[in-house]
Structure 1
Amino acid sequence: MRRTGRFLTALAALALVLVPVLAEARPGGGSSSGSRGSRTYSAPPSTQTAPSGAQRFDRTATQPSSPATARPGMAPGAQPSRGFFGSFGGALLAGGLIGALLGYGLFGGGAGFGAVLGMLLQVALIGLLVMLVVRFFRRRQAPAVASGPQGYAFQPQPEPKAFGGTGGMKAAAPVDAPLAIGPSDYQAFEQTLKDINAAWSRRDLQGLRAVATPEMVSYFAQDLRDLEARNWRNETRDVRLEQGDLAEAWSEEGEDYATVAMRFSMLDATFDNATNKVVEGSTTQRTEATELWTFVRKGPGGKWMLSGIQQTQPA
């Protein structure tokens, strides 16, 4: 009976740790990935759509290029220290404490199936706890969001008033923006939002390559593999842009960049491939998300490609 109780307690703890994984399966959901050129380590200005600003990137291929982008006393490109609780020693301590609570010690003192199962559960918990602790400290270390001018406001197409017609939000060029962003650009941003979600739902890497940078495609591919390892798939349907505005736009080294805050709604559901049953989300109830998407193109006239997705800071 004691072993049964310990086993159920361990399963309950493991289920609680896994909850965030289930709830963040949409493309880019729950993490910030990609690059913003030379501004990757600079927070985009807040906007009406995302007043709390953006979180720093959890995954990026861009390395800090100068000491100004790193912490004081840290060499350029060096990874910030996560402290004891982000280290292997912290993981062992966390695992030992959980094991003690469950009555097993660090690696289990008994023999037989129950002890082996307890050890495996502790190892799984250690790995998941390390992941959550690292994510927590990364978010705590996120730089303060810089204030900035409001951008060009837009709403879902085909309503023309979103781009400065009569009524609704007026078109207004960003103050001191070195790169002009017009209605056709905003239409491209909205269409890319829909194309990314459609290709993701089909698990179509070729389709993602047509609208996203190789870096972003690599992150999408990894996320799809993670879902497939659990024999799940995520589908987002009927994506609608509810509100959006420009955070900033600029040019560097022959490329144009634009970071746009977007609030959109959708039907978001994760399915078990074996049973085709919904394990998270809903096929009938819409959900909303607000993210900052960065787009890049090879100069004027080039095609805008998604280069980064950032989650918003908690309000």
Structure 2
Amino acid sequence: MKFASRRSRVMIALAAALVLAGSAAEARVGGRSSFGSRGARTYTPPPATRTAPEAAAPIQRSQIPNQGPNVTRPGTPAPNVAQPRRFGFGTGLMAGLFGAGLLGLLFGNGFFGGLGGLASMFGLLLQIGLIVLLISFAMKWFRRRQEPAYAGPAQNHARSMGGSVPPVGGRPMAGGLGGLGGGLGGMMGSQQQTAGARLGVRDEIGIGESDYAAFEKGLVEMQDAYSREDVAKLWTLATPEMAGYIQEELNDNAGRGVVNKLSNVRLLQGDLSEAWREGATDYATVAMRFGITDVMVDKATGRVVEGDPNRVEEAVELWTFRRDQGGSWKISAIQQA
């Protein structure tokens, strides 16, 4: 009986440890996983940045189906596209002339009889050569006019958020890390760099200071609404897909009788990974390193069951924001760095 009692206590302790481990693995918005949608680039890794130099974790859960590596991405040529046939002076043209010579030979006029003699053949070749050159010149001219003119990265300013990373040139950033508008928004405007200073940034829509301020605000407000279990607020901050996923997490926490309390959220550093447009929808993926206090609390007693309420840990994530028809930015995906 004593052995069975001791064994029962061990099993209960192991079960409790597994529950706490599961809570730790699922703490913070998104359960520390990668989920959501990035439009046509959902399964395309976002470019690395100084904030997140390593490849981002792939999207694990999304309403956009993953069609595999053979899916046609925007800007890439479609597979098995038939290439236009090109002819040279020594292919179809010479074959035709040779055929004409053979016909002349068969009808008894000699090999060059079908073309009116040797002089006539050379005269014909000269005329046809001039015509081919004119046609080739015209085709190249029209082809050059039809090629798209790719604009340079005029709006592609290398931007870095936060006070700890100096811009290109080694000079320290102006200002410090503020609260809601001081990190992403305020710091961005004070350190715009020359176009192309940081390789990898693809800004196709021209992200400005107000956009960066909105991104930082979304980061802080999302953590706050999640901590307060404010479902109505979550649905105003995120796309319906993301809000549904996050609400499922809150329901799971409620089923276990715990609340994930998040506090001391502060943006430390961040920069733009890429921004693009799909029809009337804009997307922007931003790498953010932020501080956060993350604890799991028993809902009935208020006792901390996981995490340290006196410790601020750092997290690096890539958040994608979506804007429909010029509206407000909403969170559409979160990826772990």
Bin the TM-score by the shorter chain: 0.5 to 0.7
Partner of 1:294: 320
Partner of 2:8: 7
- Give 1:209's aligned amino acid: W
SS of the residue 1:18 aligns to: helix
Matched, 1:35 2:59: no
Contact kept, 8 Å, 2:20 with 2:305, in 1: the verdict is: no
Cα separation, 2, equivalents of 1:200 and 1:284: 19
Distance 1:171 1:17, change over 3 A: farther
Which of the numbers 152, 156, 160 marks the counterpart of 1:153? 160
Contact kept, 8 Å, 1:164 with 1:171, in 2: the verdict is: no
4+ long deviations beyond 6 Å: none
SS of the residue 1:49 aligns to: coil
Describe how 1:58-207 pairs up with structure 2 within 5 A: 58-65=60-67, 68-69=70-71, 151-155=158-162, 156=177, 157-158=181-182, 162-165=187-190, 170-171=192-193, 175-207=201-233
**TM-score, with structure 2 as normaliser:** 0.62
Cα separation, 2, equivalents of 1:37 and 1:213: 12
Compute the displacement of 1:163 (Å).
1.7
Distance 1:42 1:293, change over 3 A: same
Distance 1:196 1:305, change over 3 A: same
Distance 1:151 1:57, change over 3 A: farther
Partner of 2:331: 306
Partner of 2:281: 255
Cα separation, 2, equivalents of 1:15 and 1:234: 17
Percent identity of paired positions between Structure 1 and Structure 2: 42
Compute the displacement of 1:176 (Å).
4.7
**TM-score, with structure 1 as normaliser:** 0.66
- Give 1:255's aligned amino acid: T
Partner of 1:21: 22
Contact kept, 8 Å, 1:47 with 1:53, in 2: the verdict is: no
Compute the displacement of 1:272 (Å).
0.4
Write the deviation string for residues 144-189 of structure 1: whole angstroms up to 9, x where unpaired: xxxxx99521224426762242xxx544556553221111111000
SS of the residue 1:29 aligns to: helix
Which of the numbers 240, 247, 255 marks the counterpart of 1:229? 255
Partner of 1:125: none
The RMSD of aligned alpha carbons is: 2.5
Which of the numbers 296, 303, 306 marks the counterpart of 1:280? 306
Cα separation, 2, equivalents of 1:281 and 1:4: 30
Partner of 1:87: none
Write the deviation string for residues 241-293 of structure 1: whole angstroms up to 9, x where unpaired: 00001111111121000111101112222110111111112332212111110
Cα separation, 2, equivalents of 1:152 and 1:172: 10
SS of the residue 2:205 aligns to: coil
Write the deviation string for residues 204-228 of structure 1: whole angstroms up to 9, x where unpaired: 1110111100011111111001111
Contact kept, 8 Å, 1:162 with 1:171, in 2: the verdict is: no
Write the deviation string for residues 31-60 of structure 1: whole angstroms up to 9, x where unpaired: 111111111111111111111121112221
Cα separation, 1, equivalents of 2:67 and 2:281: 18
SS of the residue 1:38 aligns to: helix
Contact kept, 8 Å, 1:291 with 1:310, in 2: the verdict is: yes
Computing the radius of gyration over CA atoms, which structure comes out larger, 1 or 2?
2
Distance 1:201 1:229, change over 3 A: same
Cα separation, 2, equivalents of 1:173 and 1:192: 27
Distance 1:52 1:4, change over 3 A: farther
Give unmatched runs, 5+ long, in structure 2: 73-155, 163-176
Give unmatched runs, 5+ long, in structure 1: 71-148
SS of the residue 1:153 aligns to: coil
